[in-house]
Amino acid sequence: MYIIDKSTEDQQPFSQQIPFAALRELLTDAQVETICRQLGHLWRERRLPPAAMVRSLVYRSLHRNQSIKTLLTDMAAADIWHQAPTDAAWCQARSRLPVALWPELIQHSTQHLVGLVGHHFLYCGRPVFLIDGSTVSMPDEPELVQTFGYANTKHGLSRVPVARLTFLVRAGVRAVCDYRIGHYRTGEDAQFNQMWPAIPNGAICLFDRKFCSFYNLAKLRQRRISVVSPLHQKRDPYKLTKAGRRVGPNQWIVRLDLACQLRKRYNDESLPRYIQVRLIHVKFRRNGQLKHMWLVTTLLDCQKYSRSSVVKLYRQRWEIETRIGSLKTTLQMNVLQSKKVENVYSEVAATVLAHNLVWTVIHQTAQHTQVHADRISFLGAVRTILAFSLPLQTSNLTERHRIYTAMLYHIASQTNTYRPNRIEPRLIKRQTRRFGFLKLPRDKARLTA
């Protein structure tokens, strides 16, 4: 059940007063309220109902300046006839949002994207999913340290808490279907296992060699989920090919055995003693040097899944690196601002939801302007959405369609150059000022300064 009280004039919701008009149709009041009712969430119709809070959190994720003060200032400028909420009121309304609301909204945004363009990005009629992990940092608060811990680097423990994140992305669609966040020492492989229910039977997974364990290959194959991945570093490819069967140029059918000690550790009776996979040898040049890579795949049909197509398919795995870059760099999720655990979860979820909504607009732009979605700039789309939200909010219904079309054409004009195999060194050119590191709490450091 849910409760909605009648509101006075001073309690009118800010649902339509947040500069969010460009994405309003993708995240409506009815959608958020329906999910809240299904979750049994109780709320009163105040100035910051659940729909308004979800919009404000997503808007804050899209805005480069992520402070609460900036958000409330934008809300005040959008409606000068009503007083904007205070910081405390906004924070209290954020804490009242149900935790289960965010996964439902992310799943809804993913389903919308898949229904919009999912049929264009299939490999032999099968959907492709990408898996990879990363980390994010946050303020040095005792509660966050206890929940996420410090990162153990070669220079010692980090000075701020660091959380481990693993993402599941639908290839081509660019939607983050699911993710897991946990303690820094949580393995990405364990987080990936928790996301298996989000992968449909018959799909194909592309991931890095750290996920290429016997357990993942065998358990995913039992669900008719195929895998393409580099061979694990602890397996000798030349020893495998020597005992395997050659099925074509630079490809063999080989047998992977499960070690006895690993069977005891997994303690899973459904695991087979061995599995057959296809091993593909790939040669390529990088910086003029000849490189070798061994790909392992459970796609055993060499006629249906040719060697060249499998190699081309695996090259799509780099797409998830771009998605993580968009989340951490463009949307600035690499350094979180929240100081409480529940707010950290909400901030990450709102950023992922904002990422999916922006890609929905990008795919709409691609369909409307015939510009390929791969070439459209994600940062340019974010800037355009924020800039066009104000005129879309203040225009009538007739003008809104014309302004929205103009927004799509402006997004299509901001494209990235196609530069395959580009290599950029992780170095900076300008000299930065050198300061020491803050290794003590700030109040103590002031006493010793």
CATH assignment at residue 135 = 3.90.350.10
- Name which of 233, 225, 149, 150 is nearest 192 in CA terms: 225
Last residue in a domain, options 98, 113, 130:
98
Helix (H) or strand (E) holding 135: strand 126-137
* Residues 321 and 349 reside in one and the same domain: no
Please state, for a pLDDT cut of 70, what percent of the chain lies above it. Answer: 94
251 part of a folded domain: yes
pLDDT grade for 236, boundaries at 50, 70 and 90: very high
pLDDT grade for 209, boundaries at 50, 70 and 90: very high
For residue 132, the SS3 value is: strand
pLDDT grade for 334, boundaries at 50, 70 and 90: very high
* Residues 94 and 112 reside in one and the same domain: no
For residue 49, the SS3 value is: coil
Cβ atoms of 382 and 62 within 8 Å: the answer is yes
For residue 165, the SS3 value is: strand
* Residues 160 and 305 reside in one and the same domain: yes
Determine how many CB atoms are found less than 10 A away from the CB of residue 439: 7
pTM score of the predicted model: 0.91
Tokens describing residue 260 = 């006895």
Cβ atoms of 178 and 195 within 8 Å: the answer is yes
Mean pLDDT of 135-159: 91
4 part of a folded domain: no
Tokens describing residue 1 = 């059940």
Angle between helix axes 68-78 and 50-62 (nearest 10 degrees) is 120
* Residues 381 and 290 reside in one and the same domain: no
Last residue in a domain, options 58, 79, 98:
98
423 part of a folded domain: no
> How high is the pLDDT of residue 191?
96
- Name which of 390, 389, 380, 388 is nearest 412 in CA terms: 380
- Residue written as tokens 């990235």? 416
Last residue in a domain, options 98, 131, 159:
98
- Name which of 214, 166, 159 is nearest 187 in CA terms: 166
Cβ atoms of 55 and 18 within 8 Å: the answer is yes
236 part of a folded domain: yes
Helix (H) or strand (E) holding 444: helix 442-448
pLDDT grade for 376, boundaries at 50, 70 and 90: very high
* Residues 315 and 204 reside in one and the same domain: yes
Cβ atoms of 130 and 191 within 8 Å: the answer is no
Tokens describing residue 188 = 């990405």
Q: Which residues contact 284 (CB under 8 A, 6 or more apart)?
A: 290, 291, 293
Helix (H) or strand (E) holding 277: strand 274-286
At residue 94, what is the residue type?
R
pLDDT grade for 238, boundaries at 50, 70 and 90: very high
Q: Is the dihedral of CA 32, 34, 38, 41 positive or negative?
A: positive
Burial class of residue 388 (count of CB atoms within 10 Å of its CB; 0-12, 13-18, 19+): buried
- Name which of 77, 72, 37 is nearest 52 in CA terms: 72
* Residues 312 and 403 reside in one and the same domain: no
pLDDT in tens, 218-228: 999 999 999 99
Highest-scoring range by mean pLDDT, 82-96, 163-177, 427-441: 163-177
Average pLDDT over the chain, rounded to an integer: 89
> How high is the pLDDT of residue 86?
85
* Residues 50 and 80 reside in one and the same domain: yes
* Residues 351 and 407 reside in one and the same domain: yes
pLDDT grade for 183, boundaries at 50, 70 and 90: very high
Range of the domain at 87: 9-98
Q: Is the dihedral of CA 41, 46, 48, 49 positive or negative?
A: positive
Tokens describing residue 209 = 């060699």
Q: ∠ CA(362), CA(364), CA(365), 5° rounding? A: 65
Q: How many structural domains is the chain composed of? A: 3
* Residues 72 and 148 reside in one and the same domain: no
Q: ∠ CA(320), CA(329), CA(134), 5° rounding? A: 50
332 part of a folded domain: no
441 part of a folded domain: no
Cβ atoms of 332 and 250 within 8 Å: the answer is no
- Residue written as tokens 């849910």? 2
Q: Which residues contact 69 (CB under 8 A, 6 or more apart)?
A: 87
Report whether pLDDT(79) > 70.
no
Mean pLDDT of 359-365: 96
Cβ atoms of 357 and 109 within 8 Å: the answer is yes
210 part of a folded domain: yes
- Name which of 193, 190, 198 is nearest 170 in CA terms: 198
* Residues 207 and 83 reside in one and the same domain: no
Burial class of residue 28 (count of CB atoms within 10 Å of its CB; 0-12, 13-18, 19+): middle
Mean pLDDT of 116-129: 94
147 part of a folded domain: yes
> How high is the pLDDT of residue 2?
37
* Residues 117 and 255 reside in one and the same domain: yes
* Residues 346 and 290 reside in one and the same domain: no
